[in-house]
Structure 1
């Protein structure tokens, strides 16, 4: 199994009527800028361990499990609203750093969160790193009735148990699932991740540590015009990192392309686009050493 080089400590923090689980590596110190790393959809904070181990410097790193993921319990809800992630992050920074600007990294859904948060609270961010937080395809108002109907239909499916996440007979089964989803993931990392991505239940099964309600379609349309106005306020330097595998083509089949994403980034005042070769969407698993060097060069 993968051998951790930099152990973390777990902390539980009260944030907005929830008890947030936060993984912390290193210690705060004068002159050390906190590095906040937020994970993506159906992932956990522990997922950054390989990158943390690959850093050359000793950083003070703060990485939460988002609400309803990992060891942060789900709120009393049957669906999730995107602005809650921004507010949770705002309260998290209040708790750990007060008014001190941070270096902020987000992957996938977390990348979308940090891009939005950075435009709303630019004074809190020194450097921002977006790991394939592409946003969503453009929507139009005519889609609203169908979107709301889908949302309500999926709430009923969730209640009926039709959207439950699969449980596995062992941690080995979880590891095999991770390796099937990402063929680049080695056995040692998969075995280690499985025990953080899932947890053993009372009946001996291994359940994914993610609330099934995260699968419910968002009732709100994705408004690119609103997103663009937020991106324009990203006053800090921004690094947008992409993997050589084009995930947008795989996910959206032409409905949303990498070229469209790059067009949106043109409104960001100070943005650099970087690419990691031989990597898929889970670049922090595939090429942690390369990603660590990119991040450290950018925030230096």
Structure 2
């Protein structure tokens, strides 16, 4: 584990966050940690980085040891040519958590592509993932065949096309990525221009857009992998933005196809960018969900009565 000393101006606004780098051989993973207590791993999606969790980290660090990595190819992690199927990305996270940090169990949260990564990690290591939360994404291969909602998620097919999106967006990352932030939130200003600039800092780096598009190009592989997976046994919290696709309800519906114990619903006043649009609602939901597990442990050890 190696600490990174350089912070951007935007990153400095997140209180008490420490930067680290894990050299895993085939990839270098940048991640941040904060707080103390039961471990809680937060996985971001596209076109974002660990920074999407900044408000959530500030509130959760008082009760949890928070770990937020930049996924393979994104943020300040390295950008291998291959390995963007979600099982491989999940293994990156597992190696950071189990080897670098030597954690045996943890709570796990995934938003957007971080959701399928979190699901793959929970399937691979069910004894380590105590509880799982998935935000505003469905699971590829969940028993349905239309992950992209009959083309409503138009960018899925575009991003999956080999070479074309790189050619059309190179040098115009601001125009392209800002469109998503303006149109996928509950309001066009759900993510501020200053915060978009922090995301653009990394997505303008060589290979960053290609790496992001590779997440979409691995979708067929992900679907095949997940169809073979057993149903998850740990409790799952599934939340969608009330102003997002399917009014957020499709998240719960998808997770109920792949897990036995699912609860959740919608986050009011949020579109797709839930951690930034409604962090207080999200933190409240997380604390209530994870507190159930902590109470269960106390009951098992006889430290509290039922």
TM over 0.5: yes
Q: RMSD over aligned Cα, in angstroms?
A: 3.7
Aligned-pair CA distance for 1:110: 0.6
Larger deviation: 4-13 or 118-127?
Answer: 4-13
After superposition, residues 158-237 of structure 1 pair within 5 angstroms as: 161-164=167-170, 166-168=172-174, 178-179=181-182, 181-182=184-185, 184=187, 186=189, 190-199=192-201, 207=204, 210-216=208-214, 217-218=216-217, 221=220, 227=226, 229-230=228-229, 232=231, 234-237=232-235
Counterpart CA distance in 2 for 1:101 and 1:211 is: 33
| Shift in CA distance, 54/25, structure 1 to aligned 2, threshold 3 Å | same
| Shift in CA distance, 241/166, structure 1 to aligned 2, threshold 3 Å | same
SS at match of 1:36: strand
Q: 1:245-280, CA deviations, whole angstroms, 9 ceiling, x for partnerless residues?
A: 24158xxxxxxx955961651452211123211111
Report if the CA contact (8 A) 1:139-1:222 is conserved.
no
Which TM-score applies when normalising by structure 2? 0.72
Which of 40, 44, 52 is the aligned partner of 2:45?
40
Q: Does 1:241 align with 2:239?
A: yes
> Partner of 1:24 in structure 2?
33
SS at match of 1:13: strand
Counterpart CA distance in 2 for 1:241 and 1:45 is: 19
Counterpart CA distance in 2 for 1:270 and 1:222 is: 26
Aligned-pair CA distance for 1:244: 0.7
Q: 1:155-213, CA deviations, whole angstroms, 9 ceiling, x for partnerless residues?
A: 34367x345362449xxx987974465363658x624423421228xxxxx93783334
Count of aligned pairs: 267
Aligned-pair CA distance for 1:294: 0.4
Q: Give 5+ residue unaligned stretches, structure 2.
A: 1-8, 147-156, 292-306
Aligned-pair CA distance for 1:115: 1.6
Which TM-score applies when normalising by structure 1? 0.74
Q: 1:123-175, CA deviations, whole angstroms, 9 ceiling, x for partnerless residues?
A: 111111111231247449xxxxxxxxx99x9334367x345362449xxx987
> Partner of 2:270 in structure 1?
279
